[in-house]
């Protein structure tokens, strides 16, 4: 069965999509079969991988009794597929909330794919409730990207509350894979203080940071992952290490 991973945060602009797509490709480069699912209405996973945004997530969620395979796209990378999304995903969230779908609805939707993929990675929008809550419940591992800046701590606190609530109220069986510090810059005091605070509060759950790097922004513009853009870069080595840690955890 596949290992489901989600990369949530209650705050945007923390490197969620970059981390989700980089991890997905990193795992595929380790000869794993990976499906990346874009639950964010911005549809940036498709953009990051250089393919077209489509209402795949909307169709899969709203037409949940249809064959989900018809919405999955080949990314052109060995072992890596994408269930793309676009602005229509926001409408799907409205439908899910209006119908009050059970907390395990996303888990059940992707269950038939469990034998086809080693990993299914969910990238979510920075909003609590609806799709994000159900995507977390569907996940075995939660990886929380968090920018090393003061304002990001609120989003992280929000996520830990959601995890605790799902565990207490719905007996969520998953676990925290780790806190991933992003946009780290050891030359700024804010980054250093934020990383120190993360380690003080979360200890060994804090993973090695992803340094701030212009090339990561350039990757999205080129529709390439860091492994394609510059495999010798520090950012590439850092995301390769992240994929190694995830394999070890799973």
Contact between 6 and 143 (Cβ < 8 Å): yes
Q: Which residues of the chain form beta strands (DSSP E)?
A: 3-7, 34-38, 73-77, 80-83, 119-123, 141-147, 175-182
In this prediction, residue 10 carries a pLDDT of: 77
Q: Are strands 3-7 and 80-83 parallel, antiparallel or unpaired?
A: unpaired
d(CA 179, CA 142): 9
In this prediction, residue 243 carries a pLDDT of: 98
d(CA 24, CA 34): 6
Helix (H, G, I), strand (E, B) or coil at 20: helix
d(CA 151, CA 164): 21
Full residue range of the structural domain in which residue 89 is found: 3-249
In this prediction, residue 105 carries a pLDDT of: 96
CATH label of the domain that carries residue 46: 3.40.50.300
Q: How many structural domains is the chain composed of?
A: 1
In this prediction, residue 200 carries a pLDDT of: 92
In this prediction, residue 152 carries a pLDDT of: 76
In this prediction, residue 185 carries a pLDDT of: 92
pLDDT in tens, the chain (250 residues): 899 999 998 777 888 999 999 999 999 999 999 999 999 999 999 999 999 999 999 999 998 888 999 999 999 999 999 999 999 999 999 999 999 999 999 999 999 999 999 999 999 988 766 899 999 999 999 999 999 987 777 778 888 999 999 999 999 999 999 999 999 998 899 999 999 999 999 999 999 999 999 999 999 899 999 999 999 999 999 999 999 999 999 8
In this prediction, residue 82 carries a pLDDT of: 98
The label of the residue with tokens 């200890």 reads: 203
In this prediction, residue 157 carries a pLDDT of: 84
pLDDT tens-digit series, residues 205-214: 999 999 999 9
In this prediction, residue 128 carries a pLDDT of: 64
């Amino acid at each position: 069965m596949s290992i489901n991973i989600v990369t949530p945060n209650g705050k945007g602009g923390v490197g969620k999509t970059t981390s989700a797509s980089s991890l997905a490709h990193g795992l595929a480069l380790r000869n794993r079969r990976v499906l990346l699912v874009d639950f964010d209405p911005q549809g940036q996973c498709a953009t990051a991988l250089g393919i077209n945004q489509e209402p795949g997530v909307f169709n899969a969620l709203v037409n949940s009794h249809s064959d989900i395979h018809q919405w999955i796209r080949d990314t052109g990378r060995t072992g890596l597929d994408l269930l793309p999304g676009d602005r229509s995903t926001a409408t799907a969230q409205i439908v899910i909330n209006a119908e009050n779908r059970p907390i395990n609805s996303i888990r059940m939707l992707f269950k038939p794919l469990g034998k086809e993929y080693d990993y299914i990675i969910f990238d979510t929008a920075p909003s609590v409730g609806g799709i994000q809550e159900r995507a977390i419940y569907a996940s075995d591992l939660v990886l929380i990207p968090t920018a090393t800046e003061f304002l990001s701590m609120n989003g992280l606190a929000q996520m830990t509350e959601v995890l605790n609530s799902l565990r207490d109220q719905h007996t969520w069986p998953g676990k925290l894979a780790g806190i991933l510090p992003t946009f780290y810059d050891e030359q700024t005091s804010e980054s250093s203080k934020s990383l120190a605070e993360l380690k003080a509060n979360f200890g060994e759950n804090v993973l090695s940071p992803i340094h701030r790097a212009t090339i990561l922004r350039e990757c999205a513009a080129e529709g390439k992952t860091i492994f394609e853009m510059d495999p010798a870069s520090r950012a590439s080595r850092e995301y390769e290490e992240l994929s190694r840690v995830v394999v070890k955890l799973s």
